[in-house]
Amino acid sequence: MQKKIFYHVIGFVMVAFGIVGIIFSRLGASPIDSFVYFLYTLTPLSLGTVAVLLGLTVSLVCYLLERKKDMIYSVIFLFIIGILIDSWKFLFELLPTPLIESFYFRIPLAAFSLLVVSFGVAITMTTSLPSLPFERLLQIMNKKIHSIKWTKIIIEGTFFILAVILGTITKQLFEQVHVFTVVLVFFTGPLISMFVDIIERKKIKGEIVYAA
């Protein structure tokens, strides 16, 4: 159990890094993160706090759909990810401004962050421990759709519309909704699915070797 918790937290650390890294790249965040960022600019709250509040809303939806009491653990993990997001944001803000503004830094940062956040989500989905609310929603919907890829596209597509609306209202649309947003909508799901398959194969292989 302790090993599972350790890997679960590592997954959260990676997810938080990926979220903040993509936001700081300013090439286009995921629809969910864009939506969170636009809400963040409208409030005196921290980025992590806004992410937690949105996550609590999604947690309520998940509970209404599945009625499982272990949703409380997802909420607890949600507060952990909120703290990690604010921590990574603090560290990124320490980077030199010329570096953050350079395309030679921002493009690799966005690509690397995409891989990191996808792998982090895959880890949390394969530990058998309660995942974060958005991943929980992904799992619940996937039971009906039977495709992580298409489930992710549906969720991201919905938040894309919401992010565009809120970005237009705040007049900051292109600060976080850009070319890379489209990349995230169509590639995050397949990447998560790929990493889940890799992790599961590694686990099965490890169990076979251990049994032998």
Domain that holds residue 114: 2-211
* For residues 49-72, average pLDDT: 88
Question: Which residues contact residue 2 at a Cβ distance below 8 angstroms, ignoring those fewer than 6 apart?
Answer: none
Is residue 167 within 8 Å of residue 176, measured between CB atoms?
Answer: yes
- Got the DSSP string for 144-179? HH--HHHHHHHHHHHHHHHHHHHHHHHT-HHHHSSH
Please give the pLDDT value at position 210: 35
Average pLDDT, integer, range 143-157: 80
Query: What pTM, to 2 d.p., does this model score?
Result: 0.84
**Side-chain half-sphere of 169: how many Cα atoms within 13 Å?**
12
Q: Is the pLDDT assigned to residue 209 strictly greater than 60?
A: no
H helices of the chain, in order, are 2-25, 31-41, 47-66, 71-92, 97-101, 103-125, 133-145, 148-170, 173-176, 179-211
pLDDT tens sequence across 80-110: 999 999 999 999 999 999 998 998 999 999 9
The answer, yes or no, to whether residue 136 has pLDDT greater than 90, is no
Q: How many domains does the structure of the chain reveal?
A: 1
